[in-house]
Amino acid sequence: MERMVDRDKLIPIGRVLEPHGKHGSLKVLPLTDSPSYYETCREIYIDSQEGLRRHAVKSLAVAAAGWILSLDQVTGRDGAHTLRGAEVLVPEASLRPLEADEFFRHDLVGCTVETMAGKTLGSVREVMMGTEQHLLVVCGGASEVLLPLVSEIVRDVDTENRVIRVEPPPGLLELNG
């Protein structure tokens, strides 16, 4: 019998793109800045249309465009195809250790965003991953603001108190709002 797991305690680290080869391997887009850290991961969860399931990892290799992931219970291209678009998750305790000035994307969601002058802009709805930079999607009332997640704009991230302080350049808020 499979043990129950609290979905809220699992953190997405990747998204299945498509099957890889004919033996059930998966191409996965990592949602982490440290894809090689998870190469030694032996257990992951897949959240697909079939529900949330725990899987033993046969292999996980960093490839040019992400990961090639092989799981114990996924065999053949058809089995892999059913997982297209699924989230790859790990328990929060399995996340890599952070440096003093680092944070996880999921820790930013829900944080209040305010200017350095103390004006509340709203709260972070999501962190959009970009190739050049990530964006904070901040919702406040009827408006949505996209703020580049760069040190020139995001001046302080206090995940313990759930507050992000920003100093947007002139015109950025009006452009987005």
- Residues 118, 43 within the same domain: no
Choose the final residue of a domain: 70, 94, 118: 94
Does the pLDDT value for residue 104 go beyond 90? Answer: no
| CATH number, domain with residue 157 | 2.30.30.240
Contact 154, 147 (CB under 8 A): yes
- Give 17-75 pLDDT, tens digit per residue: 999 999 999 999 998 878 888 888 899 999 998 889 999 999 999 988 789 999 998 98
- Give 75-103 pLDDT, tens digit per residue: 889 999 999 999 999 998 888 888 877 88
Choose the final residue of a domain: 94, 118, 142: 94
User: In DSSP terms, which residues pair with 128 in a beta bridge?
Assistant: 135
Residue type, 148: P
- Give 126-139 pLDDT, tens digit per residue: 888 777 788 999 99
Residue 15 dihedral angles phi and psi, to the nearest 5°: -135, 130
Contact 17, 66 (CB under 8 A): yes
Residue 51 maps to a domain? yes
What is the distance between the alpha carbons of residues 131 and 120, in angstroms, rounded to a whole number?
28
| CATH number, domain with residue 18 | 2.40.30.60
Q: What share of the chain is helix, strand, coil (3-state, %, to 5)?
A: 15, 45, 40
Average pLDDT over residues 160-175: 89
